[in-house]
C-alpha cells in the first residue's frame, strides 16, 4: 500500500486490505439517513452519494449506484460473488448483487461501513 494512504486500525486493515467482512448490523452507516458523501476510508476517494443509499435491511449499508469510475468490480475468490473495490486504491468495499428488486435500478452494493468515511453535506 502507498505510504500516503490514511492510517488504519487492525480491524480496518482486515476488511479493507485483507478482504474481510465486518459483522452485520454493527456498522455506523448501516442506518445512516443523513445527506452527504461516502468516501473510501483508506484513500478518501469519493464512492457514493447519500441519494444512492437505500434500506435493504441486510445488515450493511446498501447503494444502488456509485460515483462514476469510483468502484471497480472483480470476481470474488469464492467464485460466486462479485467483489467491489475502490478504483483508486483497490481497498475492499464489499460485494455487488443484481436482480433482487430492492430499487428500480435492481442493483445492490453491499458495503462494509468500516470501509468508508461519511462526510455530511
Catalytic (active site) residue 58: no
From the list 40, 86, 89, 110, the catalytic residue is 110
Sign (positive/negative) of CA torsion 96, 62, 103, 100?
positive
Helix (H/G/I), strand (E/B), else coil: 10:
helix
Annotated active-site positions, please?
A: 110
Amino acid at each position: 500500500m502507498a505510504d500516503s494512504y490514511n492510517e488504519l486500525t487492525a480491524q480496518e486493515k482486515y476488511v479493507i486490505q485483507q478482504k474481510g467482512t465486518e459483522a452485520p448490523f454493527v456498522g455506523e452507516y448501516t442506518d445512516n439517513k443523513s445527506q452527504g458523501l461516502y468516501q473510501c476510508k483508506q484513500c478518501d476517494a469519493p464512492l457514493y452519494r447519500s441519494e444512492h443509499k437505500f434500506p435493504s435491511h441486510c445488515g450493511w449499508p446498501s447503494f444502488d449506484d456509485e460515483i462514476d469510475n469510483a468502484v471497480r468490480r472483480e470476481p470474488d475468490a469464492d467464485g460466486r460473488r462479485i467483489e467491489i473495490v475502490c478504483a483508486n486504491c483497490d481497498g475492499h468495499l464489499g460485494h455487488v448483487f443484481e436482480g433482487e428488486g430492492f430499487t428500480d435500478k435492481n442493483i445492490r452494493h453491499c458495503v462494509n461501513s468500516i470501509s468508508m468515511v461519511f462526510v455530511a453535506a
